Chain A
Amino acid sequence: MEKKDSPDILDSLEGLQKAGPGPFFYTRVQARLQKEESGIWSTLVAYITRPSVALATLCLIFLLNAAAFFYERQASSLAADPNEQTVNEDYNTTLAANSYYDENNDAR
C-alpha cells in the first residue's frame, strides 16, 4: 500500500459506478415471496401438529365435553323441581279443602 494522505483516500469513491444485482433478480424476488407465503402455512401446520399442542387441544376438547355433560345433568335435575312444587301446591290445596270441610262438619 502506498503512503497516501487520507483526503486522497476519501476521494477514492469519486466516479463510482453503481452496482446492480445479477440477472433474473425479479424471478428470485418472486421465489422469495412464494417461499414467505408458503412459510406462513408450513409454520402453522408445524405448530398445530406439535405433540404438545395436539395433546393440549385433546385435553381442552375433553374438558369442554365433560363440562357440557355436567351442565346438562344439572339442568335436567333443576327442570324436575317445578313439578315437585306443583304437587306440593296441590297437596296444600287438598289440605286446605279438607280443613274447610272439617270446619263445616264441626259447625253442624
Chain B
Amino acid sequence: MVEQLKRGDESAFKIIVTTWQDMVYNTAMGILQSAEDAEDVAQEVFVQVYESIHTFKGESKLSTWLYRITTSKALDHIRRKKRKKRFAFVQHLFGENNEVIVQPPDFHHPGVVLDNKEKAAALFKAIEKLPDNQKIAYVLNKVEGLNYQEISEVMKTTVSSVESLLHRAKSNLRKWLRELYRNHHE
C-alpha cells in the first residue's frame, strides 16, 4: 500500500485514510479534548502522510509512524492555541479586544460508558494538566489501548521509560483529583 502511494496511486491513499482515520482521530481527540480540533489535526496528519510518504522507510510499522505524526501535530496544535489565548488575553488587558474570554466546557469523550461520564470528564480535565510526555504515554495507553512496548516504539524510548512516565502520570493525576474533590466538597 505504501509503495503504491509512493508511486502516486490515489486509491492507495484512500485506503490508508479509511483504514487509519479512527485511530488518528481518536488519538488526537484524547490529547486535544475537542472534536473540532481532533478533526482539524486528523486532516493535517493525512495531508502530511500524502506529502511525506517518500520519507517513510518502513523501519517501523505504518501505525507507529502515524501515531508519531498525530502526537506531534496534536502537541503543536495545543501550543498554537495557547499562544493565541495569551495574545487574546494581552489584547483584552489593553482593551483592544472586547471579546469575553470563556473557559471551554468539560470535555465528554463520546466513547465513555454513560455511568462513567462525570468521572471521565474530571479525569480528562486532569490529563490536560500533565506534562507533554506523560500525557502522550497516558493517552496512548488508556485511550488507544497500546501496551508499553508499542508506546515505547511510538515515543522512541525504552519500555522502562514508558513505565516510569505512566507511573508519574498516575501519581500526578491522583494528586490533582484528590485536590479537586477536596475543593469541591469544601
Residues of A within 8 A of B (CB): 1-4, 6-10, 12-22, 25-26, 28-29, 32-33, 36
10 pairs of A and B residues whose beta carbons are closest in the complex: A17-B111, A12-B119, A6-B177, A20-B22, A12-B116, A12-B120, A18-B26, A6-B174, A21-B25, A9-B119
Chain B positions within 8 Å of A8 at CB level: 119
Q: Which residue of B lies closest to A32 (CB)?
A: B43
Knowing A12-B116, A19-B110 touch, does A29 contact B43 (C-beta < 8 A)?
Answer: yes
Chain A positions within 8 Å of B93 at CB level: none
CA distance A12 to B114 in the complex (A): 10
Classify chain B's interface size. 35 or more
What are 17 A-B residue pairs whose CB atoms fall within 8 Å in the complex? Answer: A1-B122, A3-B181, A4-B119, A10-B170, A10-B177, A14-B113, A16-B113, A17-B111, A17-B112, A18-B26, A18-B111, A20-B25, A21-B22, A21-B25, A32-B43, A32-B47, A36-B47
Q: Is the interface of A mostly helix, strand, loop or mixed?
A: loop
CA distance A85 to B184 in the complex (A): 105
Q: Is the interface of B mostly helix, strand, loop or mixed?
A: helix
B47:A29 contact, CB within 8 angstroms: yes
CA distance A10 to B138 in the complex (A): 11
Chain A positions within 8 Å of B120 at CB level: 12-13, 16
CA distance A10 to B21 in the complex (A): 27
B44-58 interface mask toward A, CB cutoff 8 Å, 1 = contact, 0 = none?
Answer: 101100100000000
B168 within 8 Å of A (CB atoms): no
